[in-house]
């Protein structure tokens, strides 16, 4: 048993300034260690498992003499009870550190999830939409809550205020919260069921989105007005107008057109091959170019690798095509809506099978069984369909007759 030293008063302890270890009495093995720098701290010398150990009890004067004695007595009682107080303290510190490492707030998890998935998404706009919806609606409510603690009540606090008024946004937000929480579970930051899941859970307490509000489609031009629109479009100057015209003739997405490069286009074969990393479905897509699209390409200068570069030689802004429509006083329609115009024309004015039209639009196949058995891309049939689409776009529809559009001759 450690020998008790002469018990010092608080005043005497406060005067200890000579570097070294000075036992203060009151509790066996309790000492004040004075460093050469003048810093002072409490040390308790004890025997644990037959070995002498030194246990830190805190700095002086933050830990007073009375506090040091109380801590020393508690440590000695643990030893008497068969507990290693040093190992116990280390285990608690380790557990605390592990808990902190395993703790992540929802906003931190969402940021990490977006960073991890961003490379898979088709464009920067998709990641921006994720950030905007989560920061606008989820972060103010659950952003600072640890993902391990998020339950159904938290999810409902986010969704209920906008479920009936902003249904489409709320539907997407729910899916994004579900994805973030699934990611957090796989990474070990939470466990149990996902409180944001829809089937068999939230669908029991929230109205079905489709019954709350009809999906708003991109405003589209009636196909009967296409020829007249194309006449006016071809009167517009600028790269943006030509890009919009090419998008209409190919039924392609804005991003695919804006990022088109000459290396993707085979003029001899009248084929535009878009690489998988530029496609929404992440699959290579071939576009059959009709003669109207070829004529447009032949009229363009090849000053850059991009087919439709901006003034700096880089990709056009995603608002460029919209700006063209606004200049034409057609803010009632969207560039993306021309894909619907094309699809409506296919259904109502042609006998081409649905699959041919869907493949021309590069739509994903919803039926997994059908997708597994379909191998070809119906390209030759699509070539005929795009030929007819080009011809149709060059005709002004009137009640009495159809007037072909004459393209200006290349100067």
Per-residue pLDDT of 218-235, as tens digits, reads 678 999 999 999 999 999
How far is 323 from 310, CA to CA, in rounded Å?
A: 14
Beta bridge partners of 52: 47
Assess whether pLDDT exceeds 50 at residue 353.
yes
Range picked from 323-327, 377-381, 396-400, 406-410 for highest mean pLDDT? 323-327
How far is 220 from 206, CA to CA, in rounded Å?
A: 31
Which residues fall within 8 angstroms of residue 390, CB to CB, at 6 or more apart?
Answer: 249, 290, 291, 292, 293
- Is the separation of the CB atoms in 122 and 154 below 8 Å? no
Assess whether pLDDT exceeds 70 at residue 111.
yes
More confident residue, 32 or 125: 32
Alpha-carbon torsion, ordered 373, 379, 381, 384, to 10 deg: 160
Instruction: For residue 404, name the pLDDT band (cuts at 50, 70, 90).
Output: low
pTM: 0.52
Please name each of the domains of the chain with its CATH number. 10-101 (3.30.160.390), 106-212 (1.10.150.130), 223-404 (1.10.443.10)
Q: What is the mean pLDDT of the chain?
A: 85
Which residues fall within 8 angstroms of residue 341, CB to CB, at 6 or more apart?
Answer: 220, 221, 222, 223, 226, 248
Closest Cα partner for 58 from 75, 81, 79, 80?
A: 75
| Residue-wise DSSP of 103-118 | --BHHHHHHHHHHHHG
Alpha-carbon torsion, ordered 10, 14, 18, 23, to 10 deg: 20
Which residues fall within 8 angstroms of residue 404, CB to CB, at 6 or more apart?
Answer: 394, 395, 396
Cα atoms found within 13 Å of the Cα of residue 392, Cβ hemisphere only: 22
In the DSSP assignment, the letter for residue 315 is B
How far is 389 from 370, CA to CA, in rounded Å?
A: 27
């Amino acid at each position: 048993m450690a020998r008790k030293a002469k018990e010092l008063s608080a005043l005497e302890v406060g005067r200890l300034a000579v570097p070294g270890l000075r036992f203060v009495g009151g509790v066996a093995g309790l000492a004040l260690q004075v460093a050469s720098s003048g810093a002072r701290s409490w040390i308790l010398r004890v025997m644990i498992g037959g070995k002498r150990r030194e246990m830190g009890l805190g700095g002086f004067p933050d830990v007073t003499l009375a506090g040091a004695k109380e801590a020393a007595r508690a440590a000695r009682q643990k030893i008497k009870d068969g507990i290693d107080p040093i190992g116990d303290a280390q285990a608690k510190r380790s557990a605390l550190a592990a808990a902190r490492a395993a703790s992540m707030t929802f906003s931190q998890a969402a940021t990490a999830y977006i960073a991890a998935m961003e490379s898979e998404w088709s464009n920067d706009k998709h990641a921006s939409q994720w950030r905007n919806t989560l920061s606008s609606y989820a972060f103010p409510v659950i952003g600072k809550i640890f993902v391990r603690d998020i339950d159904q009540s938290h999810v409902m606090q986010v969704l209920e205020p906008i479920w009936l008024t902003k249904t489409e946004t709320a539907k997407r937000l729910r899916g994004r919260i579900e994805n973030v929480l699934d990611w957090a579970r796989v990474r070990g930051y939470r466990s149990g069921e996902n409180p944001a899941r829809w089937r068999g859970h939230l669908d029991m307490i929230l109205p079905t989105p489709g019954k709350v509000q009809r999906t708003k489609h991109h405003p589209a031009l009636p196909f009967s007005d296409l020829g007249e629109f194309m006449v006016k479009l071809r009167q517009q100057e600028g790269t943006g107008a030509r890009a919009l015209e090419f998008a209409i003739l190919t039924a392609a997405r804005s991003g695919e057109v804006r990022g088109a490069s000459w290396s993707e286009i085979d003029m001899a074969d009248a084929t535009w091959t878009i690489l998988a990393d530029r496609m929404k479905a992440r699959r290579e897509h071939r576009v059959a170019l009709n003669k109207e699209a070829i004529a447009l390409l032949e009229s363009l200068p090849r000053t850059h690798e991009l087919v439709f570069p901006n003034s700096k030689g880089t990709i056009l802004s995603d608002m460029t095509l919209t700006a063209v429509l606004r200049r034409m006083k057609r803010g009632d329609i969207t560039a993306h809506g021309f894909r619907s115009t094309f699809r409506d024309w296919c259904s109502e004015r042609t006998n081409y099978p649905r699959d041919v039209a869907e493949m021309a639009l590069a739509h994903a196949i919803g039926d997994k069984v059908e997708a597994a058995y379909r191998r070809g891309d119906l390209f030759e049939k699509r070539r005929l369909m795009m030929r007819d689409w080009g011809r149709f776009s060059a005709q002004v529809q009137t009640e009495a007759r159809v007037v072909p559009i004459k393209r200006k001759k290349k100067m």
